[in-house]
Amino acid sequence: MRALVTGSDGFIGTNLCIRLGEASDREVLRIDHQSSDQQLVEAVEACDIVFHLAGVNRPTNPDEFMVGNRDFTARVASLVAARERPIPVIFASSIQAERENPYGQSKRAAEAALLAASPDPLRWVHIYRLPNVFGKWCKPNYNSAVATFCHNIARGLPITIHDPSAPLQLVYVDDVITHWLALASALLKGHLVPDGPYRSVTPVYATSVGEVASAVDGFHKTRKALGVERVGSGLMRALYATYLSSLPPEDFSYPIVKHGDPRGVFAEMLRTTDSGQVSFFTAHPGITRGGHYHHTKNEKFLVVRGRARFGFRHVVTGERLVMDVSGDDLRIVDTVPGWAHDITNTGQEELVVLLWANEVFDREHPDTISAKV
């Protein structure tokens, strides 16, 4: 795939070029605001597909909307139409094209120019009226509320919200590009992609300005408190990645509290909303830790360095179990409710153990009862 990307230095263009460049069988031809018309001509002639992302959305003069959106798109379309062999064009338009403002009018005019120039728009033209796109490398304090919230909150700067209930339709940049790459691959393999020329990317997240700001603020407040929200899927996953990408490099790390005594050290690493917490502890040679049981609470231990002996005793029947584990043979050890348990360092070096508990430790209700094994 020789892909021409106009607007290659923009937010979406940068993400797209990086993704395109990750495969050895793709060549990226970049056109940005500094490229000459001759460079554009040569790139259109050499490419297999066009990702047309270039445009103007915040000019100093409203007349620049038509020049940067309609006229430049018409130029790209004319060059594509002049080729002997038709090539597909994927065009990043905007939902603003449905509105009667200068930007929306210019985007709609750009769509019309592209459709008019194509010999078969249902086959060769693919227009995406994108909602608000967010993700890493988006410019803050420009035209993305998400980027502004992430940038400012990550730095302790104030944000301005005029109407927290104002609706937002969001699409994540990685979802956009994943969709485009799949479409491009299908098109270049000669597959007929029906239902053109207007297309959409999913998922689209329906939320509000206030909800997004609150989520990002929550990421910031809980991070150094060792907390983390539900960030494994959906909008929260995408927002959290965007927030982290906005951190200044000096904040990539942060300290945790370490508790030490003659046995070794213990430190919490992460507390989740509803899936417990992660911590670690050490033990000097010969030291035994634990000596308790739980009614409901449960844990998973992983010895990552050293040798250890786990002891278990059923608190009712008295049944016992001894288990030797080593950091050389990684093995998860579960603590089971109703069984007293302890762990002893049986090696000659410091024992290091990772620990997950299914619930965050509650000093008022610890569910931890001392008992010898």
Catalytic residues, which ones?
A: 103
Q: How far apart are CA 250 and CA 228, in angstroms?
A: 20
> What six digits make up the tokens of 271?
């507390």
Q: What angle do CA 137, 166, 220 make, to 5 degrees?
A: 45
**Measured in whole angstroms, how far is the alpha carbon of residue 373 from the centre of its chain?**
45
Q: Residue 356's CB: how many other CB atoms inside 10 A? A: 18
Q: What angle do CA 140, 141, 147 make, to 5 degrees?
A: 35
- In our burial notation (b when 16+ CB lie closer than 10 A, e otherwise), range 321-338 reads eeeebebeeeeebebeee
Dihedral sign, CA of 8, 9, 15, 19?
A: positive
Name the residue type at position 203. Answer: P
Note the helical H segments in the chain: 11-20, 37-46, 63-65, 72-81, 102-117, 121-124, 145-154, 173-188, 209-223, 234-245
Contact status, residue 80 vs residue 125, Cβ threshold 8 Å:
no
The candidate with the shortest Cα–Cα distance to 238, out of 181, 157, 177, is 177
CB 92 within 8 A of CB 8: no
∠ CA 200-206-211 to the nearest 5 degrees?
145
Q: Quote the CA–CA distance of 232 and 236 in Å, as a whole number.
A: 7
The CA distance from 335 to 214, in Å, is: 37
